[in-house]
Amino acid sequence: MNEPASETGVDEPAARALRQVRWLLIGVESLVALAFLWLGDAEHHPTGLLLVCGVLAAIDLASRGVRPLVHAATDVSALAVLSLLWGPHHPLQALALVEMTICATVLASRPAWSVTGLAIGLQVLDAVLQARGGEDAVHLVSHVSIGAVAAIALTWFGQAVARSLAARDAARHAAEVDRERAARLAVVGTLAAGVAHELATPLGSIELLAEEAGAELGEGPGRTALATLQAQVRRCRGILDRLLRRGDSGLVGCPAFGTRLQAWIDEWALANPGITATLEISGATADAAVPGDEASWRGAVWTLLDNARRAGAPILVRATLRDRDVVLDVIDRGAGPSPEVAARAGEPFFSAWPERGTGLGLYALRTFLEGVGGAFSLDSDSGGGRARVSVPMARGDRWTS
């Protein structure tokens, strides 16, 4: 498991490595400077070396939360100053390559290459100043060239490693999400089968009693209410049938989708009096055929309308054709979903209204759509919420009604 990130946004092991490189530089350079002082060697400017080390130590102690790009740039600049004081054969110049390698693996591409560019530029400037001081130009050019090639190669390799690690972490996270989703699917499937079995008998009794009551009732409001009740019982029966017949909804098709969509909206409006749901549909969509059985589509549309009603009426349903896809938008006049709700919509047992929902409606919708090659998304539209369903039209004889 990765350790938590530091305040600078870099993983703590990487931030710790940068600090360790800095203190390695300070410690070794201080020892060398003290040795020069003890030997009385003023040619390598031991006082200046100690001063640079002191400045580095003060910076590290005073700015532990500094951005890693500034941190690395400071160390690389200090190494350039040390090289200028020591001479062209400064042994600790190789530590700049360590800094660049760490930055290449933990920083984004632009800051990582910025550190490398700064190091190469300072090395060139250092070589120019050394050449003016009488050092051999050919030797300095070869020294700078080899250092630049090494810096570029290490930065490129570090960036490649960083990309590979990021891809591995993303794949591992996706696998964990898939495993969790599969576990929830197994739980929901077992629960659904049990619920379907338990409810089948009482629903059958209700349906039988409704038929007997209908035979005794005459025309009037009671008859209309009973007809609505029977329609809801049939809908429940269809839901239970789908729960027991999981996985085969993509083998059948729903022709004249737009025409049936209007009928489903009318049925929903009859069961939800006082709620306005308006349909806008393009002419070609009315005759389009989509994969999936009619009962599943009816349940999906009712789920979308129920969620829109909870968010805020009135409701606008818009059905259009885009290339070979049927796109269905259900737009409410609520506050719109939060980013968390939009991202998690369709997860089992997650609901934006936990006091009124179980979190299984959109989950069943998304599962059905994935089974027929469709997609679902939730976002905001014109000050309200918008649930979008898209599904490819049925082609040829692949689906039959």
Beta strands across the sheet bearing 384-392: 277-281, 315-322, 325-331, 384-392, 375-381
Distances (CA, A) of 15 to 22, 69, 73, 163: 11, 11, 14, 19
Q: What is the pLDDT of residue 4?
A: 38
Reported as a single tens digit per residue, the pLDDT across 162-218 is: 888 888 988 888 888 777 766 766 666 666 666 766 777 777 777 777 777 766 666
Q: Where are the beta strands (DSSP E) in 240-357?
A: 253-254, 277-281, 290-291, 315-322, 325-331
pLDDT digits (tens, 9 = 90+) for 120-161: 887 788 778 777 777 777 777 887 788 788 888 888 988 888
- Cα dihedral: 54, 58, 64, 67 (round 10): -80
Q: Tell me how far apart the alpha carbons of residues 120 and 125 are, in angstroms, rounded to a whole number.
A: 9
Of 62 and 291, which is predicted with more confidence?
Answer: 291
pTM over 0.75: no
Domain map (residue ranges) of the chain: 12-175, 177-244, 250-392
Instruction: Reply yes or no on whether the pLDDT at 10 is more than 70.
Output: no
Rounded (10°) CA dihedral 358, 360, 365, 367: 170
Tell me 248's DSSP state.
-
Looking at domain 250-392, its CATH superfamily turns out to be Histidine kinase-like ATPase, C-terminal domain (3.30.565.10)
Whether the upstream peptide bond of residue 354 has omega within 30° of 0, thus cis, is no
Long-range contacts from 177-181, C-beta under 8 angstroms, 24+ separation: 181/348
Torsion angle, alpha carbons of 334, 299, 198, 191, to 10? -70
Strand partners, 329: 318, 388
Q: Both ends of the chain: CA-CA distance in Å? A: 51
Q: What percent of the chain has pLDDT over 70?
A: 69
Whole-angstrom distance, CA of residue 311 vs CA of residue 83: 67
**Dihedral pair phi/psi, residue 315, rounded to 5°:** -120, 135
CA angle at 66 for the pair 61 and 70, rounded to the nearest 5°: 110
